[in-house]
């Protein structure tokens, strides 16, 4: 009876608004407790940090085994099991979803954040996020055009339950590595030698206590699974059907994060934070002001999210529900993070523009070729 009432509550608009308020407030609180500024939760940035900690890229300032990512997936897994919504499934063009995940990550890292972080940047006063969010809306709308014209990657099919356990098992392994932090020794300067790399400065060195991040991540994963919270889905539903159910949760997320940022003194409006003593602009945290890249990066990400069926947070949640195709998308994002950093494509780096152009072409071709005749 309690389970049924809880399920009904989260299916209502009041349920997703409540979840959006709590997730937004917790994200801002994680920032207060040590996570990077305007980055309480970011699926793209945190997955990038995990990849760096495993040595798949060597950007020393963004290497940390973020516990929030595995915790969110495991929170969704727990919720799906409790409410009997766990369904192991796969087979809907997994290799295509892997490629979409790669380019979604490249686009997000050119903007410097996933849709959740774009909302948090906006709630923290970073006006560059406005350009990114416009790009996201354009990208998702372009994806909706493909959907209206017959785009379909095919249905997934039920498979044996253990296949859906693989992504939760991977996340448990990441958590164990974060707790144990194994090292091969020390170099001549006394610094730890891999296999786990940890930033000593920069965003990777800024994090809340592991236990706090784990608990909050589990709560967020649980709530997101119950409500189907999805930033991309909220835009898609408005454009495709005029449905504002998911959008009400996203708006609640922004409001809660904004209010908590005001309470914590974390709201700093502007495209930059000002200028330094030498007259040089001081950027917003982990942001840049090359606006055409902010726009195009999130446009690419939005198209990839729409064609894959969910934003990075939603893909992580689906992975916890047993969706192997969503798991492949997440793995594609992880590899995309390594590619973006190793090939100098992040932010306004030299190869960001060629990367985003190639990505838009590839994703558009996928959208065209995957149409049902």
Residue 111: per-residue pLDDT: 98
- At residue 186 the predicted structure's pLDDT band, cuts being 50, 70 and 90, is confident
Burial track 24-53 (b if 16+ CB lie within 10 A, e otherwise)? bbbbbbbbebebbbbbbbbbbbbbbbbbbb
- At residue 4 the predicted structure's pLDDT band, cuts being 50, 70 and 90, is low
Q: Is the pLDDT of residue 269 over 90?
A: yes
Residue 207: per-residue pLDDT: 97
Q: What is the pTM of this model?
A: 0.95
Q: Is the pLDDT of residue 191 over 90?
A: no
């Amino acid at each position: 009876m309690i389970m049924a009432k809880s399920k009904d509550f989260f299916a209502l608009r009041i349920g997703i608004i409540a979840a959006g308020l709590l997730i937004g407030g917790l994200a801002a609180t994680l920032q207060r407790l040590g996570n990077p500024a305007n980055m309480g939760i970011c699926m793209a940035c945190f997955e990038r940090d995990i990849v760096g900690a495993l040595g798949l890229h060597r950007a020393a300032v963004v290497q940390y085994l973020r516990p929030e990512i595995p915790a969110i997936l495991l929170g969704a897994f727990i919720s799906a099991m409790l409410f009997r919504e766990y369904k192991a499934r796969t087979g809907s063009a997994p290799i295509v979803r892997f490629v979409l995940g790669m380019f979604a990550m490249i686009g997000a890292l050119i903007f410097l954040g996933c849709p959740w972080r774009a909302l948090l940047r906006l709630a923290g006063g970073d006006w560059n996020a406005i350009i990114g969010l416009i790009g996201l809306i354009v990208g998702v709308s372009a994806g909706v055009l493909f959907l209206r014209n017959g785009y379909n990657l095919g249905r997934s099919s039920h498979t044996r339950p253990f296949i859906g356990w693989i992504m939760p098992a991977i996340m448990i392994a990441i958590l164990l590595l974060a707790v144990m932090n194994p090292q091969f020794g020390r170099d001549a300067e006394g610094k730890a030698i891999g296999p786990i790399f940890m930033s000593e400065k920069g965003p990777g060195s800024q994090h809340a206590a592991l236990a706090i991040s784990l608990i909050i991540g589990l709560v967020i994963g649980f709530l997101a699974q119950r409500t189907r919270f999805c930033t991309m889905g909220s835009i898609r539903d408005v454009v495709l059907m005029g449905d504002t159910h998911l959008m009400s949760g996203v708006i609640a997320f922004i409001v809660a994060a904004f209010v908590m940022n005001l309470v914590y003194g974390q709201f700093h409006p502007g495209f930059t934070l000002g200028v330094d003593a030498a007259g040089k602009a001081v950027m917003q945290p982990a942001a840049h002001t090359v606006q055409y890249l902010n726009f195009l990066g999130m446009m690419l990400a939005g198209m990839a999210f729409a064609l894959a069926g969910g934003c990075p947070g939603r893909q992580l949640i689906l992975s916890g529900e047993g969706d192997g195709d969503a798991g492949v998308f997440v793995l594609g994002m992880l590899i995309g993070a390594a590619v973006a950093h190793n090939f100098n494509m992040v932010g306004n780096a030299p190869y960001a523009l060629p990367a985003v152009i190639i990505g838009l072409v590839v994703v558009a071709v996928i959208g065209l070729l995957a149409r049902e005749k």
